[in-house]
Structure 1
Amino acid sequence: MQYSLLSKFQGALLGAALGSYVGSNFEYHIEKNRENNKLFINQHKFYLSKLEKNYLQKWGEITVNCAKSLIIKQEFNEEDWQKVYREWQNKWNNKKDYTYEPNKIKDSPIELEKLVEIVNNNQPNFNINNDVLNPTASKGIITSLPVSLTYHEDEFKLQQKLQQWGKVWENYLEINLGNLVVGYIIAQTLTDRLDPLTIIPKIIDYIGEKEPLVGQLRQVEKLINQGANLDAAINHLSKNVKSFEKQQIFCEGQQRTLSSAFFIPISLALYCFLSTPENFGLAVLRSARTGWATQTCTIVGTLSGAYNSSAGVPVEWRQKMGVELLGMKDQMEIMKLAKSLWAVWSGVYDPNNVTQNIVPAVAASNVIRPRPHPASGS
């Protein structure tokens, strides 16, 4: 079924917020009930720890600020984005409850040994906690979502703008590659060209032969083609954590390192989404059981929301969310923000003044729509 482009914009942002909440809610209850590994989805509200609420507010705020920069400038302006990022960084660095902790994956061999032991023992609540202002895969993806939505119709420009967006993180290749993968899937979805069975080779062609991510993408493709169940996918994709092999990649004259562990939540999220693309609820619930609940749910919610539009996001789930979704007061604010981004894409002169009674009539790129028949006698 084809949905309007506006509803897909709204579904992507709403799905990202809802995915973050579901994943964080699941991890909250797993922490409180370690022996009871099940989703508490039928409660009246989703519950989060104070720390998780703080994290969601922090990363939701920079997502919204990125979107507002796009809306005000009516394009992605790298200079303005640098300014927005610095202001956000300074604000959260100065918060009283903020303390810097090193990236455990990159900085501590002892932590790596502990991590391997956790994975080998199949502990269900396994998660990688990066320091607050260095994003995980999902945080980078959700923060760059406004850029992916705005430039979805031009794959070359999308890649260019996402790389410009990533410069604030010192051209951190893990973040750039993760954003390119998800941004490309969003572009295929918004232009009605996504085929779950053929998308992986297209992604590889788009990002180039960059290991270890490409190796994990091929594993995802194999698992989907084999019809592998969730447990098999988790065991197969997470085994890369045992080695933590890093390979050198040269990009724009700079030498970087890639950790295969960084991409595991992305790989699991792609498996969950591509194996059940038509069902938002099922895809998100499955991703919550991967051990990277917050990360995978956020990515799956974003992709499935874009694919199934806002109409495919369960109403009863929306009602369970608290306020401050993506740092905004309610879901109507998210829908309004998505409409303003859509207006920028469609060329509206003043995207901040798009009234609610305007009926969107813009088709997705390269998609033929029927035109109304002329009145008789004309």
Structure 2
Amino acid sequence: MRHSLLRKFQGTILGAVLGDSTGLQYQRQLLGIPPQTADLQSILQLTKHQQLILSGTKFALNSGNSQMLSGADSSASGRLAVAWTKSLIRCRGLDLKDWRDTWEGFVKSEIYPRSNTEFQSVLNPCEAAIAALPCAMFFHENKAKLREKIMLATDVLPAENKSELQTAILAFGYAIARSLKQRLDPATAIEQTIAYLKTDNPSTELLLQVQILLEQKADLETAATHLCKSASALPHKQGESEKKSQTNSIVNQGNLLPIALAFYCFLSTPEDLRLSVVRAARCGIAGQLTCALTGALSGAYNGAAAIPVEWRQLSSAEVESQRLAEGREPSLWGTGSDVKIVELANNLFSVWAGVYNPSAGMDSTALARAVAAPYVIRPRKI
């Protein structure tokens, strides 16, 4: 293999986290906000060529009911991904009760910190794809099991259009799985992904447009503008009854743009993670989400070695400066350190591989780890 599977696990999570951080930094530059200013708009200000008037208003990637990207913080879905990764490690697989408890606890603590007797929080497809990333990694071996587990895992998420939400997550998860297995061919990735989805909806329509843009070798500005226009035109291609049913839908066509852009940015420069993520940031659309999705795709394909060292250093330095200056909670998806992210990826890989005691660190005296098929060797219960 060109890259070890462990390095690919590390690259997937680290690429997503540092992509998120890079997108935020670029977003601040475009908005003219000093680096340590917390009051960020959740949606990136569109660059000049992207200021498209769609149905009388500019594209908004969030619904009014979505809580995850409102306000200054748009990394909540990343922190949920970390929490769900810990659930997979803790339970040595997908335990639906623990998975659901983790989600409900996260909603109450992160989204609705004040006591609420009733709450409803809905992720858009891009946020849900980031949150479900560890599930796609853990079940990457078998595409049938991948579909089954993603369906079960995302069933805990409230959504008014669950099938469309899950289709977008499956598209992203399948590409991650193919990369982890060293079977992703950039030239046929879109075609294989659509074949795997076995459906025809806005997600597949946008992916088809991405394929056309790649075949035409379209530049970044052309691709971003074309995908924006394509997303805005999708509702007009549907019947009147379908349009009415989606009028109040949380999942709308604009919410699918970051995934489509992430596929374009990755597949147009598949061997260069830095360039892919920077191009994603320059799209000017939902910078953090687009960059996080692109970083995960490229990280899974190229491994941790493709992550620029200076990105890790700058991110860690920024976290420390914010902690000292503002007393804020650690960023980088709540971990506070890229080292913690790598450790998380290592532990997830260890559980996937059947390690007897994944919590034993690399410096532990128990370095000679026992590995076996799942459920053959288990921790001793005292």
What is the TM-score of this pair, normalised by structure 2? 0.75
Match of residue 337 from structure 1: 344
Residues 141 and 182 in structure 1, CA contact (< 8 A), matched pair in contact too: yes
Distance apart, 1:92 and its partner CA: 2.5
Match of residue 261 from structure 2: 268
The whole-number CA distance in structure 1 between the counterparts of 2:36 and 2:184 is 34
CA RMSD of aligned residues (A): 2.9
The whole-number CA distance in structure 1 between the counterparts of 2:222 and 2:18 is 26
Distance apart, 1:297 and its partner CA: 0.6
The whole-number CA distance in structure 2 between the counterparts of 1:228 and 1:315 is 30
Note the alpha carbon deviations across 1:62-118, whole angstroms, 9 max, x for none.
Answer: 21110111011111111111111111111124436x9x99xxxxxxxxxxxxxxxxx
Distance apart, 1:234 and its partner CA: 1.0
Distance apart, 1:294 and its partner CA: 1.7
* SS of 2:283 mapped into structure 1: coil
Distance apart, 1:133 and its partner CA: 4.2
Distance apart, 1:283 and its partner CA: 0.4
The whole-number CA distance in structure 1 between the counterparts of 2:370 and 2:17 is 26
Distance apart, 1:55 and its partner CA: 2.4
Match of residue 110 from structure 2: 92
Match of residue 199 from structure 1: 189
Residues 56 and 327 in structure 1, CA contact (< 8 A), matched pair in contact too: no
The whole-number CA distance in structure 2 between the counterparts of 1:261 and 1:50 is 23
Is 2:282 aligned against 1:285? no
Match of residue 63 from structure 2: none
Show structure 1 runs of 4+ deviating over 4 A.
Answer: 45-48, 50-54, 255-258, 356-362
Note the alpha carbon deviations across 1:247-285, whole angstroms, 9 max, x for none.
Answer: 59xxxxxx9866322212111110100010100110011
Distance apart, 1:209 and its partner CA: 2.2
Distance apart, 1:50 and its partner CA: 4.7
Distance apart, 1:240 and its partner CA: 2.7
Residues 23 and 292 in structure 2, CA contact (< 8 A), matched pair in contact too: yes
Q: For structure 1, list consecutive stretches of 5 or more residues without a partner in the other structure.
A: 34-44, 102-131, 249-254, 363-378
> Partner letter of residue 335 of structure 2?
M
Q: 1:26 to 1:166 in 2, by over 3 A?
A: same
Instruction: Find 1:59's aligned residue among 71, 77, 84.
Output: 77
Residues 122 and 158 in structure 2, CA contact (< 8 A), matched pair in contact too: no
The whole-number CA distance in structure 2 between the counterparts of 1:75 and 1:236 is 41
Residues 82 and 168 in structure 1, CA contact (< 8 A), matched pair in contact too: yes
The whole-number CA distance in structure 2 between the counterparts of 1:352 and 1:69 is 13
Residues 14 and 334 in structure 1, CA contact (< 8 A), matched pair in contact too: yes
Match of residue 357 from structure 2: 350
Is 2:285 aligned against 1:299? no
Q: 1:178 to 1:359 in 2, by over 3 A?
A: farther
Distance apart, 1:58 and its partner CA: 3.0
Is 2:133 aligned against 1:139? no
> Partner letter of residue 285 of structure 1?
V
Note the alpha carbon deviations across 1:153-206, whole angstroms, 9 max, x for none.
Answer: 111111111111111223523331221111111111011111000111110111
Q: 1:93 to 1:261 in 2, by over 3 A?
A: closer
> Partner letter of residue 174 of structure 1?
E
What is the TM-score of this pair, normalised by structure 1? 0.76
The whole-number CA distance in structure 2 between the counterparts of 1:320 and 1:326 is 15
* SS of 1:83 mapped into structure 2: helix
Match of residue 9 from structure 1: 9
The whole-number CA distance in structure 1 between the counterparts of 2:36 and 2:272 is 23
> Partner letter of residue 261 of structure 1?
G
The whole-number CA distance in structure 1 between the counterparts of 2:263 and 2:225 is 15
* SS of 1:65 mapped into structure 2: helix
Residues 19 and 294 in structure 2, CA contact (< 8 A), matched pair in contact too: yes
Is 2:95 aligned against 1:82? no
The whole-number CA distance in structure 2 between the counterparts of 1:133 and 1:25 is 27
Distance apart, 1:353 and its partner CA: 2.2
Residues 126 and 256 in structure 2, CA contact (< 8 A), matched pair in contact too: no
Equivalent residue pairs, number: 313
Distance apart, 1:354 and its partner CA: 4.5
Distance apart, 1:318 and its partner CA: 1.1
The whole-number CA distance in structure 2 between the counterparts of 1:9 and 1:349 is 19
Q: Which moved more, 1:267-276 or 1:1-10?
A: 1-10
> Partner letter of residue 231 of structure 1?
E
* SS of 1:355 mapped into structure 2: coil
Identity of aligned residues (%): 35
Instruction: Find 2:145's aligned residue among 157, 162, 167.
Output: 157
Q: 1:214 to 1:60 in 2, by over 3 A?
A: closer
Distance apart, 1:356 and its partner CA: 4.4
Distance apart, 1:54 and its partner CA: 5.8
Match of residue 230 from structure 2: 240
Distance apart, 1:359 and its partner CA: 8.8
* SS of 1:158 mapped into structure 2: helix
Is 2:308 aligned against 1:318? no
The whole-number CA distance in structure 1 between the counterparts of 2:362 and 2:282 is 41
Residues 232 and 254 in structure 2, CA contact (< 8 A), matched pair in contact too: no
> Partner letter of residue 201 of structure 2?
E
> Partner letter of residue 59 of structure 1?
S
